[in-house]
Amino acid sequence: MMEGRASGPTTVEALAWDSEHLGFPVARLTDSDLEPAVLRPALEMARASRFRLVYWPAATGRDAPESILREFNGLLVDRKATFAIDPIPAPAGGEPAGSIRVVEWPRRPPSDPLLRLGVAAGLHSRYRVDPRMPPGAFESLYRTWTTRSALGELADALLVAATPGREDEPLGLVTIKSDGPDGQIGLIAVRDDARGQGVGSTLMAAAHRWMFARDARRATVVTQLDNVPACRLYERSGYGLADLRNFYHFWPEEPTVAVSRAPASP
C-alpha cells in the first residue's frame, strides 16, 4: 500500500494504493509524535515533493497548532478510537436460535445490497468528513473495501445477518481477520430500517464465535469516536477504549482557506 520515501526531519511516505485510488499523489508522515518545529518542515518537504494530500495520525495528546493547520490546509478529520476485548468471551454453545441468522459469505463478489451496507459502514469516515475529498471518493473506497473483503483479500471472512428465508435482503454485515491469538473486526454495518432489533449485537456475537473457533482470544476494532452508535455497540459487547488519537489531513498544495479543527458531523 506504500512505496517511496524521502529523507528529512521525518519520513514522508508515498502511498501507492491511496494515490492510485484517489487519482493524485498521497503520502503520510510516519512519525506520529512530532513537535510543531518538526511538523512544519515535514509538511514543507511534502509540499516540495508535490504531494496533494498528506495524512498524519498524531500520537495521543499531540495536536497540530492552528498556525500549521492554516499554512498547510490541515483539518482534524477523525478522532480514531481503538476498542479492545481480552479475552473474547467463550461461546455458550451453538449458534443461538432467533429471528436473525448469520452466515458466512462465500468467496465471491458482493451483491448490491452488501455493497450498500459496506458504504454505510463508512458514513463517519475521514474520507466522507473531509470536504476536500473528490466527489465519489468515499463511496468508491468503501465499495472497494467491501469487495476485496468479500473476496478474502482484506478480510478472512465476511458474515451476513439476514432473516431466515430472506438471505438476499441482508440486515447487516461484519468483516473479520484472525492472526493467531489476535482477531480484528473491520467493517460493520446494519441496515437503517433494521436498527434497534439486535442485529449489531448478533453480528458481534457471531464474529466472536468465528474468531474463538480459530483460536483468537483477544480482538480489536477501530472506529471514529464521533460514531456514537458503533462505540456503544462495542462497549455493550464487552470492549473498552484502548487508544484514542487525532487523525489529520493536510492539503499543502491547495489555496489556503479557513477550516475548523473538529470534523463536522455528517
Q: Which domains are delineated in the chain?
A: 5-72 (no CATH), 84-243 (3.40.630.30)
Q: Which residues contact 118 (CB under 8 A, 6 or more apart)?
A: 110, 142, 143, 145, 146, 147, 149, 173, 187, 189
Q: Kindly report the average pLDDT of the chain as a whole number.
A: 91
| Locus of grid cell 455493497 | 115
Instruction: Give the whole-number percent of the chain exceeding pLDDT 70.
Output: 90
Inform me whether the pLDDT recorded for 149 exceeds 70.
yes
What local confidence, expressed as pLDDT, does residue 255 receive? 65
3-class state of residue 109 by DSSP:
coil
Average pLDDT (32-52) is 95
DSSP state of 100: -
What local confidence, expressed as pLDDT, does residue 265 receive? 34
Inform me whether the pLDDT recorded for 218 exceeds 80.
yes
pTM for this predicted structure = 0.89
Inform me whether the pLDDT recorded for 7 exceeds 70.
no
Residue 257 C-alpha cell reads as 482557506
